[in-house]
C-alpha cells in the first residue's frame, strides 16, 4: 500500500491535480462515461431518428469526447491556467476559427441544415443540378455528402454545395418513378395501329404498374395513354409514360419495351424513319454540267 501511496504522490500539485493514480482513474472514468453515453444515445438515435442517423451519431460522438478530453485536461495542473484563458477568450477564438475555417464551418452548418430539414436521406436516389450528378446517397458526414453513381463510383460533394444545389429526389415519389418512352414512326405508317401496339406491349410487360388513382379508374381513364407530341422532318414522335418502382427497374423496363415494340412494328408494317438521299447524275439530269452531281 505504501508503494501505491508513493506512486500516487508523484507529481501531485505540480503536474497532477489529485495525484498520479487518482488522476488516471478519474481520466479513465471520463472516457468510459463518454463511451457508455455514446452507446446509450446511439441506441436511442437508431430507435427514434429515421433519417441521417450517421450524421447525428457522429455529432454526438464529437461532443461527448470533446467534453471528456476537456475534463481530462482540467486534471493536469499546467493546463488549468490555459483552459481558463481559453474560456475567457472563447469569443475571440471563435471569431478567428470562423475566419480561418469558413468553408469547413459552412459545410458543418449546412450538414446540420440537411439533417434538420431532410431534403434527402441515406439511400435516396438523387439528381443534383439537373443530372450533373446522379446516384444513391450512401453517406452524410460533417463535411460532405457521398453519392454512389450507377458506374459504382463515389462522388463527394461538400455540404455547402449540396444544400444550395438544385436537387431532384427521385425517392420522394411514393416509390414509383415515371419513365418516358418515345418512339418515332414514319408519316406513311398507320399511327393508330402503332399507338395500339405500344399500349398492348406496355400492359403485357410483367413489371407494368397501373398508376391510376381510384377516381381515374372510376372515370374510365385508360391505364396507358399514348400521345403524339411532335411533328419532325421525316417522322412523328409518340410518347407514353410507364411507371416503375425504381430507376434501375425503369431502365430495364424501357429497354424491354423497345425490343418488343420493334418486333411488333416489323411484323405489322410500322416503319421507323431513317435518312434518304437521292443522287441525280448527268444521264438523269440533261441540263446539268458534266461534273455536276445534285444531292438531296
Q: In the chain, where does DSSP find H-type helix?
A: 2-9, 20-48, 53-74, 77-88, 90-100, 102-117, 159-164, 191-204, 214-218, 247-268
- Structural domain contains residue 292: no
The residue that leads in pLDDT, 265 or 177, is 265
Query: Which segment, 37-46, 171-180, 227-236, is predicted with the most confidence on average?
Result: 227-236
Secondary structure of residue 244 in the 3-state scheme:
strand
Q: Give the CB-side neighbour count of residue 63, counting CA atoms within 13 A.
A: 11
Q: Containing H/E element for 240?
A: strand 236-244
18 and 74 share one domain? yes
pLDDT of residue 234: 87
Name the domain count of the chain: 3
Same domain, 7 and 74: yes
Q: What is the mean pLDDT of residues 190-216?
A: 92
Angstrom CA distances, 57 to 48, 70, 85, 196, 252, stand at 12, 20, 31, 55, 37
- Helix (H, G, I), strand (E, B), or coil: what is residue 6? helix
Mean confidence (pLDDT) of the chain: 80
Counting residues of the chain whose pLDDT is more than 90, the rounded percentage is: 26
In a domain, 213, yes or no: yes
Identify whether 196 is part of a domain: yes
104 part of a folded domain: no
Residue 294: pLDDT over 50: no
Question: Is residue 289 pLDDT above 60, yes or no?
Answer: no
The Cα 18–Cα 12 span in angstroms is: 6
- Residue 282 pLDDT exceeds 70: no
CATH number at residue 214: 3.30.70.100
How far is residue 207's CA from residue 99's CA, in Å, rounded to a whole number? 55
Rounded mean pLDDT, 22-26: 83
Please indicate, yes or no, if residue 184 is contained in any of the structural domains. Answer: yes
Residue 177's pLDDT is 80
pLDDT at 225: 94
Half-sphere exposure of 3 (CA within 13 A, CB side): 0
* Domain span including residue 128: 119-170
Query: Higher model confidence: residue 14 or residue 69?
Result: 69
Regarding whether 60 and 142 lie in a shared domain, the answer is no
CA nearest to 208, candidates 237, 184, 176: 176
DSSP characters over 34-96: HHHHHHHHHHHHHHH--S-HHHHHHHHHHHHHHHHHHHHHHTBHHHHHHHHHHHHTHHHHHHH
Give me the sheet containing 133-140, strands edge to edge. Answer: 154-158, 144-148, 133-140, 125-128, 167-169
Q: Rounded to whole angstroms, how far apart are CA atoms 283 and 14?
A: 112
In the block, which residue shows the cell 441544415? 113
**Is residue 31 included in any domain, yes or no?**
yes
Are 68 and 10 contained in the same domain?
yes
For residue 214, is it within any domain?
yes
Tens of pLDDT, residues 109-149: 777 777 777 788 888 888 888 878 888 898 888 788 999 98
**What is the CATH number for 135?**
2.30.30.60
C-alpha span between 188 and 205 (Å, rounded): 28
pTM of the model: 0.51
Question: Who has greater pLDDT, 272 or 57?
Answer: 272
Amino acid at each position: 500500500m505504501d508503494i501505491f501511496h508513493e506512486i500516487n504522490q508523484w507529481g501531485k500539485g505540480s503536474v497532477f491535480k489529485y495525484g498520479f493514480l487518482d488522476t488516471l482513474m478519474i481520466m479513465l472514468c471520463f472516457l468510459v462515461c463518454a463511451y457508455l453515453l455514446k452507446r446509450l444515445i446511439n441506441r436511442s438515435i437508431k430507435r427514434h431518428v429515421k433519417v441521417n442517423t450517421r450524421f447525428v451519431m457522429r455529432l454526438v460522438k464529437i461532443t461527448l469526447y470533446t467534453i471528456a478530453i476537456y475534463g481530462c485536461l482540467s486534471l493536469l495542473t499546467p493546463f488549468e491556467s490555459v483552459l481558463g484563458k481559453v474560456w475567457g477568450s472563447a469569443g475571440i477564438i471563435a471569431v478567428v476559427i470562423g475566419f480561418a475555417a469558413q468553408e469547413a464551418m459552412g459545410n458543418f452548418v449546412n450538414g446540420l441544415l440537411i439533417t434538420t430539414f431532410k431534403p434527402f436521406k441515406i439511400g435516396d436516389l438523387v439528381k443534383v443540378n439537373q443530372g450533373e450528378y446522379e446516384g444513391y446517397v450512401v453517406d452524410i458526414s460533417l463535411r460532405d455528402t457521398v453519392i454512389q453513381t450507377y458506374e459504382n463510383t463515389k462522388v463527394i460533394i461538400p455540404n455547402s454545395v449540396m444544400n444550395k444545389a438544385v436537387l431532384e429526389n427521385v425517392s420522394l415519389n411514393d416509390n414509383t418513378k415515371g419513365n418516358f418512352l418515345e418512339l418515332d414512326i414514319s408519316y406513311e405508317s398507320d399511327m393508330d395501329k402503332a399507338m395500339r401496339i405500344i399500349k398492348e406491349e406496355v400492359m403485357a410487360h410483367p413489371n407494368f404498374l397501373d398508376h391510376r388513382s381510384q377516381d381515374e379508374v372510376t372515370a374510365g381513364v385508360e391505364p396507358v395513354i399514348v400521345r403524339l407530341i411532335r411533328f419532325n422532318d421525316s417522322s412523328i414522335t409518340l410518347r407514353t409514360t410507364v411507371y416503375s418502382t425504381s430507376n434501375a427497374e425503369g431502365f430495364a423496363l424501357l429497354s424491354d419495351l423497345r425490343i418488343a415494340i420493334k418486333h411488333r412494328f416489323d411484323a405489322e408494317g410500322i416503319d421507323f424513319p431513317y435518312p434518304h438521299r437521292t443522287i441525280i447524275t448527268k444521264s438523269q439530269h440533261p441540263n446539268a454540267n458534266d461534273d455536276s452531281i445534285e444531292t438531296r
